[in-house]
Amino acid sequence: MFIMDVPATPPQETPIVLVQAADSGSTVMQTDYLLQTCQQTTSAGNPRSAFRGVDPAGMLKIYIQKRDNRPVRVESITNVTLLEGTMHGKIFEWVDSDGNTSYYYDAEPNYVGNDRAVFMAEYEGKVYKIVLELHVYTWVNEKIPSSCPPPQLIKINGKPASGSSSYDLNSIPVAFADLAGAAVGRTGITLDSNAAGYGWFIDTTPGLNEEFLPTSNPNEWVAKAGSAAAGKMDILSARPLLGSLKVA
């Protein structure tokens, strides 16, 4: 069984929708919305400082308040869970004496660059996947404008939310065919039956990425030598090649 998964890149930069394999007996929580957001942070100083704080529930609260023009209690955002940790540090939980949980980002010492964490949360019966891009500096000057773009909410199924794009994944057919030349995919979605001779690597553990190594770009990975993915085509490490694919 194939499960469609929206990539963690801005919609305008997303040439196709990713496909990942899953066990037909597994239970997958349906994501209703994808919130792409960003914040600046530091890799120096106290890991529990305000600049190191990560607040996915607060980010979702602020976005919904602005979108719906109504107050939202942060307590009404429940089941906040870290789905994917960062590559250049770690996200850790801190529970205070009142039992309130906070998240903080502990970067590698003096790391400068981009990082990313993915959270899941629920609000009013809807499931939100929160993709948080972190712009990491050794220190942050609050007087300098933020390098972060405005947050964006994508409705996964049905009609798009106000001011957002739509990915109606149930309406996108997936097919395999023998495509001409070196093309391995095109919109529709049609994937070449043998990935232009490379063969497809189908990842049965997409949340682990144990067959891949990170690169300087948090959105691009490379297959480990000797792994099941080495020498084969896959969307995770093939994203730099998408410009050459037959994608409209």
Summarize pLDDT for 56-89 with one digit per residue, the tens. 999 999 999 998 999 999 889 999 999 898 999 9
Would you call 127 helix, strand, or coil by DSSP?
Answer: strand
Residue 180's pLDDT band, with cuts at 50, 70 and 90, is low
Regarding pTM above 0.85, the answer is no
Of 167, 188, 204, the domain-final residue: 167
Q: Indicate whether 70 and 185 sit together in one domain.
A: no
Question: In this model, does residue 43 exceed pLDDT 80?
Answer: yes
Considering the domain boundaries, does residue 3 fall inside one?
no
Burial 73-86 (b: 16+ CB within 10 A, else e): eeeebeebebebeb
d(C-alpha 7, C-alpha 15), whole Å: 10
In a domain? residue 9:
no
Indicate whether 113 and 215 sit together in one domain: no
- Using the 3D structure, point to which of 117, 141, 167 is the last residue of a domain: 167
pLDDT attached to residue 195: 74
pLDDT attached to residue 18? 39
Do 92 and 114 share a domain, yes or no? yes
Q: Looking at the 3D structure of the chain, how many domains does it have?
A: 2
pLDDT of residue 111: 92
DSSP state of 60: H
* Average pLDDT of the segment spanning 26-55: 82
DSSP state of 233: B
Is residue 157 in some structural domain? yes
Of 167, 191, 223, which one is at a domain's C-terminal end? 167
CA distance 210 to 188: 29
Does 56 map to a domain?
yes
Q: What average pLDDT score do residues 187-200 get? A: 68
pLDDT digits (tens, 9 = 90+) for 207-223: 667 788 888 776 677 88
- Position 219 scores a pLDDT of 64
Dump pLDDT digits (tens) for 126-167: 999 999 999 999 887 777 778 888 898 888 754 445 444 444
Measure Cα distances from 20 to 73, 117, 170, 202 in Å. 35, 19, 15, 7
**Residues with Cβ < 8 Å from 103, sequence gap 6 or more?**
53, 54, 55, 56, 82, 91, 92, 93, 94
**Within-domain flag for 186:** yes
Sign of the CA dihedral running 204, 134, 52, 72: negative
183 and 151 in a single domain? The answer is no
- What range does the domain containing 141 cover? 29-167
- The 3-state DSSP composition of the chain as helix, strand, coil percent (nearest 5) reads 15, 35, 50
Q: Pick the more confident residue, 205 or 15.
A: 205
